[in-house]
Structure 1
Amino acid sequence: MRGWDRGVKLLKYICFVLFLVRLSFAIETGSVATEMIIDDFDYETNLEIQKVWRGVQSEPPNVVKIIRHGYGLKSNAHFAQGIQRVSYDRDIELDLSMYGSFTLDIFLLEPWAFHAFTLYFKSGGGWFGCYSPMAKLGWQRLTFNKLEFQPEGNPDGWHNITGIRLSAWAAQKEDCQLVLDRLLARRSQIVIILPTIESGCQLNEVETAKKFAKTLSRMFATIGLLSDSVIDYSLSANLLMKHKYKFVVLPMNPRVSPELSIALKEFIVSGGKIFSIYKLDKDVAQLIGVKPTGWIQEKNDGQFAEIRFLGQRGFPKSVKQASWNITVAEPIGNQSHVVGIWCDSEGNPSNYPAMIVGKYGAFFSHVILNDDFAQKQQMLAAVVGYFFPSMHQMIAQHLIGNVMRVGHFTNRDKLERFIKKAGKIEAMKFLSRAKNIHENAVRNYGNGNITTAIEMAGKARSLLSQAYLFSQENLEVEGRAIWNHSGTGAYPGDWDRSAYELATAGFNMIFPNMLWAGLAHYASDILPRSWTFDHYGDQISQCVLAARKYGLEVHIWKVTWNLSNAPKSFLEKLRQENRLQKSKTNAEILWLCPSHQDNQKLEIDSLIEITNKYDIDGIHLDYIRYPSSDGCYCDNCRQAFIQSTNQKVKNWPTDVLKSGTTRKEFIAWRADQITKLVKAVSEKAKLIQPNLKVSAAVFNDYPYCVQSVGQDWVKWANLGYVDFLCPMNYTADNDHFSQMVQNHKNILPRNYPVYPGIGASASIFSLPIDQVAAQIHLTRQLGSAGFTIFDYSKDTSAILIPAISKSIGAQKPKIPR
């Protein structure tokens, strides 16, 4: 065995050297205007690198020669010893306020051993941190968008960076190595300017704008354009001109600061353009030639369901978008013109402009949502291309070059082999047409017909996507589940239609969200009844009746602890009884405190009520955790913790926070409060319905979720409290998705049923149909019992469900037992 071990180590060493030689040279640059090398790790000796970089609870870094250029930082990660991460710090003085993203090249030989990588920048009394998956064998480039960074502590600002921390997190208890190279800061030609309270905006407007700015940034990236983000304050306004931005995006800025208003006027004079979205500042409106005339909320469901473009070259014919309100605006004279109007769900046009463009900018009358992803890509490409032909050319290059990146393939030959091996006649037809159209796209690009080239690239990719879908297998045994967040199906008041649609598409399980901690969509005698119940009736009874008709299992989705939609009177009663969570600074959190026995009883009773009243197949627990590491530190938690553990706590909550004297004991006790509910629900519900299944939607980052939110789902599985799990593996990165599925398989009991969650329409991004199919394909390859898709709604029923119906769901399988 010793000789075999030495052979394995020698093989790993040879692979390590070979991979260092074979660096990935095809790393995207996008629309980068400026790059700054923060650290190229070009230190020739261990002594040199250790003078700059120091290990944090890790051994000192070493240098390693990289064939393509210079040296890199080599880290030995001793994860087998039980450490959770390896980290390296350095001191530095930087102003990163006008850089939008950062990249780091990293080499892994054992990617399965790593959970993720975090890049931190120290500023003042805190840090900015951003997480990135790292799931590929060999070299990869990690990208960290500034919009994704989260503050920890009290950072001063991006203008005052005083340190860097590089952290690689463990997924497996296995010793491994990594090499780091070239940490860069990047600035592009597109800048997203975020509103601030100081510029006159409300806190909810600031938070909403940041959310949709993330969506925009990711959409720009999918068409090959990088984007920066800065906040609206005098420094960024003064530097707007200096850094030669071409395109300013205002994601939802009802007001801009006086300094920025002046800067935008100068910006337009110098040739820059503005894209203002939804809420219009009056000065910005004047600059781009648009006059806001009001605001309107939809009067009926589906009033603003689609944007139809009026023959403007480059724009798609239409784009689906389920908007609920719009800003009403009109062109000012001949300064601008309408290129798109709103239509309802039946296709009837309105008189409300959706998109207005002019000489100096464009306006879109609602936030840009992540539905109808492919058409949104073309819409964004058209807006940018309308003003900047050079960027339009970049977009065309990117889209033509990525036509063959379909499903889980990045290589044309492998994609073709997959489709041909499946041997489906319809798929072969799609493949043949796609290849011809792709060749035409390349020819048109070469002839300078950029708009036509982009349109053809889109058509070719759409056909390849269909070929990929039609080439998927149909399994005889598989759990095909879908979450329904509304609790009404896709068609409120018509569960029969929803159940028929899902069954026809090959689904065999539905998880409808029927109750929260303080609200019920059914005839509850324990929780307040919702508006949905009042208007559409008992949703559980209607759902179960329809599901039985079409052979679907019903697993009632329960949002635990969270009171965000509870009636005010119900909340006030809980508040008076001191049953709400408190943060470490004693701020109220609108969640039930799990350590309060009355809250445990409320959660149990509401679920037992359902088990007694309805013939259901399962209970599905969600939010079965704390909201974050900031909860709960209420007085009841203090007393219960001390009584339960016999720990002495002199300073609450300091002693149980990070580096506190009783931190370890508190983390375990805190997780036990959540486990207590899971155990009680499982045992009591099965006394009533012995065949009932209990499941849970869980965070994907085990074991870190035990510390952060008290969610020990591996323990629940080991003790038999849950019958299957649905880790929320929401990612657009297929390698990361596979890594998570495999890691979960490794840490759970053998053959334990897992239905990985696929974020088809997650909050920040949505997945193209072929990528949903790809992640289903990967769950099958890795031996999962099935999959769970988020979310069943009117949007997904229009695009995703029909696509699955014709391919993966062409035949309905049996549910694993």
Structure 2
Amino acid sequence: MTRTGSIALIRNTQSAGAAYLCRGMETTLRHVGLVTTLLNDTEVESGTLAKHRLVLLPCNPDLSPSATQCLQDFTRRGGKLILGLTPTSEMLVLLGLKRLKVRPIEAREMVFTHKALHGLPPRVFLSTRQIVLCKAEPTVRAIAQWRTLQDLSVNDPAAYLAPNGALLTTATVTAGAHMQYAEDRIHLGRLIATLANHFLHDFDLLRFQRRLTEQLSDDEDLVREARPREFEVRALWLPHIPTQNEVALIARQNFNLICPTIGPIAVRAYEHKTFHRPWQLTNLLTECVDQAHRSGLEVFPYVTAWPLPSEEMRRFFDGTGRILRHEPSAAGNPQPAWMCPTHPENQQLLIDAVTKLLDDFGVDGVVLGGFRFPDDTSCVCEGCRQRFAERTERKIGPRPMNLQQRHAVWQNWRHESLTDLLGRLLTACRATNPNAKLALATLPSWDMIPKQFGQDPAGWAPQHLADIFFAMDFTAESETFRGELDHQIKSAAGGARVCAGLGVYSSSSEISSAADLVRQIQIVRELEADGFLLWHSHPAFLEEQFGEGLRAGALRSPAKLPWHPNAPSRPAREHSSVKAPKRRIGLVLPVAEY
């Protein structure tokens, strides 16, 4: 294999989307056994590129002018560049390409010309909604074309090979579009290895291919030998309400529960009640529930508690004193707009909205996300200050406290407020529909991260303050995932059901292949968790990436939900001291959905 220092990967930390794509490329290279050195903007400027002969830029890294100049010097000295999604015009020029225009296209795969380069994969699955058309110099040639499901004659260039390097794809990122480097890791890894073999004389492509073949063989055995369970939660989170055809596809994939996102439930209910605005999702949700029940699926809409979706609502709740107040930010960064979680009217609004959803649409339950505070200091509105002062005076009295003690009392008050609200919400749901389930999406690392945001799942689960706890343990590291889930199951002590959130396609993780996903599903089953929720973007993309692999073993046959009348009783678990796992899931700032 090539020496460690010969391939560099330039990370992008300027935007969350670009950083996510860079992490996806890193995972792809690790998955296929390609070793790289990670560099940032500053390291590029310091002349570190001189140690390398091949540089990967997974996504337009918004490099500084100085770093861009360093890359230009790098190519003049004979270095090679491999560019990924949405490269700048300056970067394209280094490859002998000139951007002409952007063309809309619904493409699903890049098909390669086999004679263009030895070792190329037949295709790479990469969905896109638009591509960049380029003018190429005579020494630059297209090595792949786009193909669509609707029109097999489409032959727009999908990738280029140049003397100075290569353009992996002409796909470009669109706002809100599904774009990642996880759809086809094996073939994408083969493509990069083929380019490395072309540009680096000491790269052993045959050895790489043998290793990859062995890994694929092991992965195929794992996927094929996985055994399904008869009773478990197989849930699929979706960022939208699926169509009737999508619901039918999900049923064929042998899931038994769908969680379509319908957004901030409380404020939407307030808009409808106060301003008499029709809820635009009414017909879609009604049709979805009807089709799901006919297909044997249960429906738990995924709702968020406190985020405010519009500037109009932010101004309205601000004017009524019901908006969350943050501590002033030293950096002056804009803060997310949330309703105050401790305001009595906001709490009652959430209860009314969730119970109305259960009552009006015949759904089987609700998954509540964002049931927390946005940070570890809010809310500091006048109402919260007054309610905290009253609680402190009632329980502690006039005893003086230092800052550390006061902060601890403050944190306890926040999660006590949410604990009380969660109990009232569960009672209201039971009164509305005794058979409906209340599920709670929680942050990972139950003994660490959630408490910073007012959550206390380790305390709520044993008290059965919700029927199901979906722990969003989004990580690609299987052993880290095992330790966290084991800790959560033991913390629940046989109270509420615990299901694992698997971050197949999330803002903080990707699961790279069907084998990796099956590994995590097998861990869920080995630990006797009650099931899992796949966090993904679209049932069609899930089918393309994982459908065949999942149906080969882990989801080979349908499963009944654990509350089915014929389901066996749950194993008894006693509450005991629980040791925290050695490896934890890190989370800097959670997204509003959980």
Tell me the TM-score normalised to structure 1 length: 0.61
Measure, in 2, the Cα distance between the counterparts of 1:500 and 1:615.
Answer: 19
Q: Are residues 1:310 and 2:310 paired?
A: no
Measure, in 2, the Cα distance between the counterparts of 1:346 and 1:673.
Answer: 54
Structure 2 residue runs of 5 or longer lacking an equivalent are 174-179, 564-594
Where 2:469 maps in the other structure, the secondary structure is strand
Q: Which residue of 1 aligns with 2:28?
A: 219
Q: Which residue of 2 aligns with 1:280?
A: 87
Q: Which residue of 2 aligns with 1:232?
A: 41
Where 2:236 maps in the other structure, the secondary structure is strand
Q: Which residue of 2 aligns with 1:783?
A: 528
The one of 542, 547, 552 equivalent to 1:801 is 547
Letter aligned with residue 773 of structure 1: V
Measure, in 2, the Cα distance between the counterparts of 1:357 and 1:683.
Answer: 63
Where 1:756 maps in the other structure, the secondary structure is strand
Letter aligned with residue 127 of structure 2: A
The one of 465, 490, 499 equivalent to 2:219 is 465
Letter aligned with residue 262 of structure 1: Q
Q: Which residue of 2 aligns with 1:474?
A: 228
Displacement of 1:774 after TM fit?
Answer: 1.8
Measure, in 1, the Cα distance between the counterparts of 2:372 and 2:292.
Answer: 29
Displacement of 1:529 after TM fit?
Answer: 7.8
Displacement of 1:684 after TM fit?
Answer: 1.0
Q: Which residue of 2 aligns with 1:15?
A: none
Letter aligned with residue 507 of structure 1: F
Instruction: Please give the residue correspondences for 1:565-576 in structure 2 after superposition, counting only pairs within 5 Å.
Output: 566-576=309-319
Measure, in 2, the Cα distance between the counterparts of 1:638 and 1:384.
Answer: 61
Q: Which residue of 2 aligns with 1:94?
A: none
Measure, in 1, the Cα distance between the counterparts of 2:260 and 2:375.
Answer: 25
Measure, in 1, the Cα distance between the counterparts of 2:13 and 2:491.
Answer: 43
Residue-by-residue CA offset, 1:353-381 (whole Å, 9 max, x unaligned) = 33222111222333553222322222332
- CA change 1:645–1:325 in 2 (3 A) is farther
- CA change 1:686–1:737 in 2 (3 A) is same
Q: Residues 706 and 712 of structure 1 are in contact (CA less than 8 Å); yes or no, is this contact kept in structure 2? A: yes
Measure, in 2, the Cα distance between the counterparts of 1:662 and 1:30.
Answer: 57
Q: Residues 256 and 296 of structure 2 are in contact (CA less than 8 Å); yes or no, is this contact kept in structure 1? A: yes
Q: Which residue of 2 aligns with 1:768?
A: 513
Measure, in 2, the Cα distance between the counterparts of 1:344 and 1:371.
Answer: 16
Letter aligned with residue 342 of structure 2: S
- CA change 1:527–1:751 in 2 (3 A) is farther
Structure 1 residue runs of 5 or longer lacking an equivalent are 1-28, 34-187, 197-205, 397-444, 489-493, 650-654
Q: Residues 512 and 556 of structure 1 are in contact (CA less than 8 Å); yes or no, is this contact kept in structure 2? A: yes
Q: Which residue of 2 aligns with 1:387?
A: 199
Q: Are residues 1:715 and 2:456 paired?
A: no
Q: Which residue of 2 aligns with 1:813?
A: 559
Letter aligned with residue 553 of structure 1: E
Q: Which residue of 1 aligns with 2:585?
A: none
Q: Which residue of 2 aligns with 1:17?
A: none
Measure, in 1, the Cα distance between the counterparts of 2:46 and 2:305.
Answer: 48
The one of 442, 445, 449 equivalent to 1:701 is 445
Measure, in 2, the Cα distance between the counterparts of 1:782 and 1:347.
Answer: 47
Measure, in 1, the Cα distance between the counterparts of 2:19 and 2:120.
Answer: 26
Where 2:134 maps in the other structure, the secondary structure is strand
Q: Residues 557 and 621 of structure 1 are in contact (CA less than 8 Å); yes or no, is this contact kept in structure 2? A: yes
Displacement of 1:228 after TM fit?
Answer: 4.0
Q: Are residues 1:293 and 2:128 paired?
A: no
Q: Are residues 1:624 and 2:371 paired?
A: yes
Residue-by-residue CA offset, 1:22-81 (whole Å, 9 max, x unaligned) = xxxxxxx99533xxxxxxxxxxxxxxxxxxxxxxxxxxxxxxxxxxxxxxxxxxxxxxxx
Q: Which residue of 2 aligns with 1:683?
A: 427
Q: Which residue of 2 aligns with 1:32?
A: 4
Measure, in 1, the Cα distance between the counterparts of 2:272 and 2:521.
Answer: 36
Measure, in 1, the Cα distance between the counterparts of 2:361 and 2:295.
Answer: 17
Instruction: Please give the residue correspondences for 1:95-106 in structure 2 after superposition, counting only pairs within 5 Å.
Output: none
Displacement of 1:570 after TM fit?
Answer: 2.7
- CA change 1:707–1:537 in 2 (3 A) is closer
- CA change 1:734–1:612 in 2 (3 A) is same
Q: Residues 761 and 767 of structure 1 are in contact (CA less than 8 Å); yes or no, is this contact kept in structure 2? A: no
The one of 369, 377, 388 equivalent to 2:189 is 377
Tell me the TM-score normalised to structure 2 length: 0.82
- CA change 1:351–1:714 in 2 (3 A) is same
Higher strand share: 1
Q: Residues 463 and 496 of structure 2 are in contact (CA less than 8 Å); yes or no, is this contact kept in structure 1? A: no
Q: Which residue of 2 aligns with 1:361?
A: 165
Q: Residues 10 and 61 of structure 2 are in contact (CA less than 8 Å); yes or no, is this contact kept in structure 1? A: no
Q: Residues 191 and 228 of structure 1 are in contact (CA less than 8 Å); yes or no, is this contact kept in structure 2? A: yes
Instruction: Please give the residue correspondences for 1:437-448 in structure 2 after superposition, counting only pairs within 5 Å.
Output: 445=206
- CA change 1:259–1:559 in 2 (3 A) is same
Please provide the CA RMSD for this pair: 3.2
Where 2:17 maps in the other structure, the secondary structure is helix
Measure, in 2, the Cα distance between the counterparts of 1:370 and 1:759.
Answer: 12
Q: Which residue of 2 aligns with 1:319?
A: 124
Displacement of 1:558 after TM fit?
Answer: 1.0
Q: Are residues 1:539 and 2:318 paired?
A: no
Displacement of 1:528 after TM fit?
Answer: 9.7
Letter aligned with residue 761 of structure 1: Y
Measure, in 2, the Cα distance between the counterparts of 1:254 and 1:754.
Answer: 40
Letter aligned with residue 556 of structure 2: A
Q: Residues 305 and 321 of structure 1 are in contact (CA less than 8 Å); yes or no, is this contact kept in structure 2? A: yes
Measure, in 2, the Cα distance between the counterparts of 1:795 and 1:673.
Answer: 40
Q: Which residue of 1 aligns with 2:572?
A: none
Q: Residues 426 and 466 of structure 2 are in contact (CA less than 8 Å); yes or no, is this contact kept in structure 1? A: yes
Measure, in 2, the Cα distance between the counterparts of 1:518 and 1:379.
Answer: 48
Displacement of 1:620 after TM fit?
Answer: 0.9
Q: Which residue of 2 aligns with 1:607?
A: 354
Q: Residues 760 and 768 of structure 1 are in contact (CA less than 8 Å); yes or no, is this contact kept in structure 2? A: no
Displacement of 1:590 after TM fit?
Answer: 2.3
The one of 579, 595, 614 equivalent to 2:342 is 595
The one of 475, 482, 487 equivalent to 2:241 is 487
- CA change 1:527–1:675 in 2 (3 A) is farther
Q: Are residues 1:338 and 2:142 paired?
A: yes
- CA change 1:582–1:647 in 2 (3 A) is farther
Residue-by-residue CA offset, 1:211-265 (whole Å, 9 max, x unaligned) = 32222222222233344444435x74242345x1222333433754332233222
Q: Residues 444 and 450 of structure 2 are in contact (CA less than 8 Å); yes or no, is this contact kept in structure 1? A: no
Measure, in 2, the Cα distance between the counterparts of 1:290 and 1:781.
Answer: 52
Measure, in 2, the Cα distance between the counterparts of 1:520 and 1:598.
Answer: 15
Letter aligned with residue 364 of structure 2: D
Q: Which residue of 1 aligns with 2:152?
A: 348
- CA change 1:221–1:282 in 2 (3 A) is same
Residue-by-residue CA offset, 1:375-423 (whole Å, 9 max, x unaligned) = 2222332333332243x42xx5xxxxxxxxxxxxxxxxxxxxxxxxxxx
The one of 168, 189, 200 equivalent to 2:7 is 189
- CA change 1:667–1:458 in 2 (3 A) is same
Higher RCO (CA-CA < 8 Å; seq separation 6+): 2
- CA change 1:389–1:596 in 2 (3 A) is farther
Displacement of 1:613 after TM fit?
Answer: 0.2
Displacement of 1:294 after TM fit?
Answer: 2.4
Displacement of 1:538 after TM fit?
Answer: 2.2
Where 2:146 maps in the other structure, the secondary structure is strand
The one of 496, 499, 503 equivalent to 2:247 is 499
Q: Are residues 1:638 and 2:382 paired?
A: no
Where 2:528 maps in the other structure, the secondary structure is coil
Displacement of 1:458 after TM fit?
Answer: 4.5
The one of 78, 82, 98 equivalent to 1:271 is 78
* Larger Rg belongs to: 1
Q: Residues 480 and 507 of structure 1 are in contact (CA less than 8 Å); yes or no, is this contact kept in structure 2? A: yes
Displacement of 1:661 after TM fit?
Answer: 4.2
Where 1:662 maps in the other structure, the secondary structure is helix
